[in-house]
Amino acid sequence: MAMFLLYAPILASFLCSLYFFHRRRSCIHPLLRDYFILGMLPPLLFNLWRIHDFITDVLKKNGGTGEFKGPWFTKMNYFLTCDSLNVQHMLSKRFDNYIKGPAFREIFEPFGDGVVTADSETWKYFRTVLHSLIRQRRFEVFVDQTVQKKVHTSLLPILDHAEQEGRVVDLQDIFNRFTFDNMCSTIVGHDPQCLSLDFPEVAIERAFNESEESIFYRHIVPRSVWRFQKWLQIGQEKKMTEACRTFDEFIYSRIASKREEMSKCSREEMEEAPFDLVSALMMTEERGRVHDDKFLRDAAFNFFVAGRETMTSALTWLFWLIGNDPLVEGKIVEEIKEKFRNEKEVIGMEEVKKLVYLHGALCEALRLFPPVPIERKQAVKADTLPSGHRVNGNTMIMFSLYAMGRCEEIWGKDCMEFKPERWISERGEIVYAPPYKFIAFNAGPRICLGKDLAFLQMKMVAAAILRSYRFKVVEGHVATPSHSIVLLMNNGLKATITKRQLL
């Protein structure tokens, strides 16, 4: 016992020396103060309520790039950057060296083996199939008709009802319900009618939201913790399991229903039927490649999340921004008034291509508030980034899209301003920005296939609303990002509505 007491301080001192030696070697460019065994996690948790602004501030103070170390003995070690040249290097020039990886697929478990999480040949096949479907004129026409129908039969009547009753509305909830119904119709040919006057709670819609919150949770706690919770089926992991069960039951039931419908149809009848995604994928089976239900489920889920979240997030932040900038709102309305003098004129996909200023406003909303604020990659082999930083093989890398939209080096000293004019040339045309700078739709080989289609749909919705209504954000409403992998508002977007007279 005496010997133990004699050598215990020496042993403790030796272990501490080893620890600090390890931290100095493994953390060459630290972003934050290292809190002994807890690493850099304490300040991150303390600033969780403003996590994206906190990461932006930290990156700016460290030249845009550095390392984050989690608690000792955990795998929460990341290399963070908002340097556009680093991003271009990883997403384009050295694309094959930066993959999603098995850790990504484990965290994003609900996505299965879809286009968002897959690597290599699986990803290439998924992308090729989806690309061929999205590019078809028949699919674009179907989406155009689906959006127009939802706008005129659900969205505008609900806004009319709210205006007549003088009710405060939650625009984010309305956009969320609209895009959920729209994507369900587009992907599985079924409208769950979430956007109804009684605002029903739909289990499948709630399941998608809870799964996204659980994925965010997996990013901020040690892997051992959430895996233990998953094993015990407690806390956020229990919600994840229940959410997966709910949306799997929904998607698989729609797939089974589609297969039954198509088994009773002739080839000619199938060609005339609505061109939703699952039906289209099943029709490709007729041409030689059989897609099992798991493939269809993963394709539907990935396409669903990608399409739904972009629209909900972008429209919510757009209306927040214009609600706080009457000058920009006035210019958008003036453009709508000039291009569509007849109030009964249909605003479809072809028509909204004329709305250049609205396009610029949407680009600004996506720049300042990208729907997916953080992207994650894993290095296959050691590499040196354009910034001069060295990354080792298997290094987990995160780049902050949110911080990139606030970088003076990319957007100039007015980067914090909501300025649609930055996207419009002197000739009144839309200005092109390289994807590795305007990163909301990703860049390189993984750039979003539905980018153009998403812009057209968002412009249709925004134009239809702003043409008829004025919105005023409720006084004192604070817009804070929710704890999710998607950049939504924590408490929604509360606003009052009044009718607008364009003519």
Length of the chain: 503
Q: Please check if 448 is assigned to a binding site.
A: yes
Q: For the chain, how big is the Rg over CA atoms in Å?
A: 24
* Cβ neighbours of 433 (radius 10 Å): 15
Backbone dihedral region for residue 36 (phi beyond 0: left; psi -120 to 50: alpha; all else: beta): left
CA atoms within 13 A on the CB side of 134: 16
- Between CA 238 and CA 260 the distance in angstroms is 33
Question: CB of 242 within 8 A of CB of 250?
Answer: no
* Cβ neighbours of 294 (radius 10 Å): 12
Work out the burial of residue 240: count CB atoms within 10 Å of its CB; fewer than 13 is exposed, 13-18 middle, 19 or more buried: buried
SS3 428: coil
The first and second tokens of residue 288, run together, are 């030689």
- Between CA 281 and CA 10 the distance in angstroms is 67
How would DSSP label each residue in 443-455? -GGG--TTHHHHH
Binding-site entries for heme? 448
Binding-site entries? 448
